[in-house]
Structure 1
Amino acid sequence: MSDTRIAFIGAGNMAASLIGGLRTQGVAADLITASNPLADQRAALQSDHGIRTFESNLDALKDADVVVLAIKPQIMQRVCQEIAASLQPEQLVVSVAAGITCTSLTQWLGARALVRCMPNTPALLRQGASGLFANEQVSAAQRQQAEQLLAAVGITVWVDTEAQLDAVTAVSGSGPAYFFLLMEAMTRAGEHLGLDRDTASRLTLQTALGAAQMALASDVSPAELRRRVTSPGGTTEQAIKTFQDDGFEALVQKALAAASRRSAELATELGQ
């Protein structure tokens, strides 16, 4: 990305996180532009990262190699129709807006190289997980550009079909909320067992962090890690057995299927 010019259309939290990640990796400020109608957000980006910002989307995307659509899905059609005539055939368009398909983007922007990305909120801390899909017009070099862009805020995975982004949404896009729900439940359970709320919360959060780091660092599966800490007849076994007897795994599958199904429905609704 050392000589790739990147324009961000929209400069909210996700764009700011991507810009910060790129700057941390050594991408020069003069290679990055961003547009936002709000003067205070433009000023913050200029102050924090030294990049050029514009009120006009058209001014921001001029001469860019990669144009990142980092705007809300509800205004995507309007913005795409505004910038379509100003885009150059060689420019790669990367969308980080949930639910807007390549079909809709092509309808609004014309046929061109498109990459759809599904990041998640930990990207704001550069601990994200992003799924990416490229249409047939995207070259190998452009795939690398898109991957390096999202890698600035976490890990990236490519999917073979656009429909698989619905599964990415269900697993990682919505996934942080599932863990937050478990943290809430464990904290409340700790309180019911006699701990004060702060103690229960601190123990829960640190345990979640430690477990995730162990799983990432290990060369064995989470299932094997679970078996290793589940002693026969012990306390952990009793808790795991209770989860499984009440259909925990089936419930997780049902929940993620519902999220994936809703992701597909939203794509239809937002593309109309």
Structure 2
Amino acid sequence: MKLVVIGGGNMGLTYAKGIHQAGLLTEKISILETGDVFTQLVKTEPDFDVYDNAEDCIKNADILLIAVKPFHAKNVFESIKNHTSKHQVVISVMAGVKISTIESGIGLEKIVRSMPNLPAMIGKGMTAFTASKNLSIEEEKIVVKILESTGEVIQVKTEDDIDKSTGLSGSGTAYILYFMEGLINAAKEFGFSEEEAKKIVSQTFDGAVELYRRNDLSTSEWIEKVCSKGGTTIEAINSFESNNVKDSIKKGAFAAYKRALELGNS
């Protein structure tokens, strides 16, 4: 089975490396890129066949994984559509780009739309995907294995669910880091060094997430366990509540979802 990754940026290279390291494919993975990125990949990525011309690699592919920015989609479609074959499966990791847009753009019918997130770069990603009806069961199984090479995967029913997952996991890494940044800033104001602040905050997040995963208690139940009446934690929680922090987080997720819809309609 031959895979061509279209786009050799962060996400494209992440999938290429994840799939390669997992040993999922017997044939060498190809990457299609242009300009300075192409030149750099040729020098630094010997595990892959790197091309700057669609004609040289697209026609031989079984799977096309498109990993470019949404605003580059139209140009990518134009560059590859004359070299595609009806049997090919397309996996898109482009935010907001609809299956129908991809179908009309390149004339193929076996389309998978997915939404990964940045921790895919270290094998800790969360990817939601949905597929057109034209994929066989066997092809869907291969798609799942490819997406699982970078972390956890969930199959959703509709493209609207993909846009919703964009507002949760797709963009969610930044929300977590935003909260961490606030705590790191507080730690430094307390007098801790940058290194100490980073260690305190990152370990606190790691521990909280692992605690939540290993038990059946809800987040609210854990918060209640940590908060003692008249104690320090409840003071912080009360401050967050008075500043509508939880509601602001929810509004942020919905804002990202709305933007994903806008991208899909542009």
CA deviation string 1:179-208 (max 9, x = no partner): 111111112222333434442332112211
CA deviation string 1:59-90 (max 9, x = no partner): 22233221111122222112212212321111
175-184 or 74-83: bigger deviation: 74-83
- Residue 130 of structure 2 corresponds to 133
Structure 1 residue runs of 5 or longer lacking an equivalent are none
Q: Does the residue aligned with 2:94 lie in a helix, a strand or coil?
A: coil
- Residue 243 of structure 2 corresponds to 246
Which amino acid counterpart does residue 227 of structure 2 have in structure 1? T
Q: Is the 8 A contact 2:61 2:88 kept in 1?
A: yes
- Residue 45 of structure 1 corresponds to 45
Confirm or deny that 1:257 pairs with 2:248: no
Which amino acid counterpart does residue 51 of structure 1 have in structure 2? F
- Residue 160 of structure 1 corresponds to 157
Stretches of 4+ aligned residues off by more than 4 angstroms = none
Query: 1:97–1:211: structure 2 CA closer, same or farther, 3 Å change rule?
Result: same
Query: 1:102–1:205: structure 2 CA closer, same or farther, 3 Å change rule?
Result: same
State the Cα distance separating 1:151 from its structure 2 match.
Answer: 0.7
54-63 or 121-130: bigger deviation: 54-63
Query: 1:141–1:28: structure 2 CA closer, same or farther, 3 Å change rule?
Result: closer
Identity over aligned residues, as a percent? 28
Give the alignment of 1:18-167 within 5 angstroms. Answer: 18-28=15-25, 30-37=27-34, 38-46=38-46, 50-167=47-164
Superposition RMSD in Å: 1.9
Which amino acid counterpart does residue 36 of structure 1 have in structure 2? E
- Residue 220 of structure 1 corresponds to 217
Q: Does the residue aligned with 1:163 lie in a helix, a strand or coil?
A: helix
Q: TM-score, normalised by structure 2?
A: 0.91
Q: TM-score, normalised by structure 1?
A: 0.89
- Residue 12 of structure 1 corresponds to 9
State the Cα distance separating 1:95 from its structure 2 match.
Answer: 0.7
2:193 & 2:31 partners in 1: Cα distance? 46
Q: Does the residue aligned with 1:15 lie in a helix, a strand or coil?
A: helix
State the Cα distance separating 1:51 from its structure 2 match.
Answer: 2.6
Which amino acid counterpart does residue 63 of structure 1 have in structure 2? N
Count residues with an aligned counterpart. Answer: 263
Structure 2 residue runs of 5 or longer lacking an equivalent are none
Q: Does the residue aligned with 1:99 lie in a helix, a strand or coil?
A: coil
Q: Is the 8 A contact 2:15 2:149 kept in 1?
A: yes
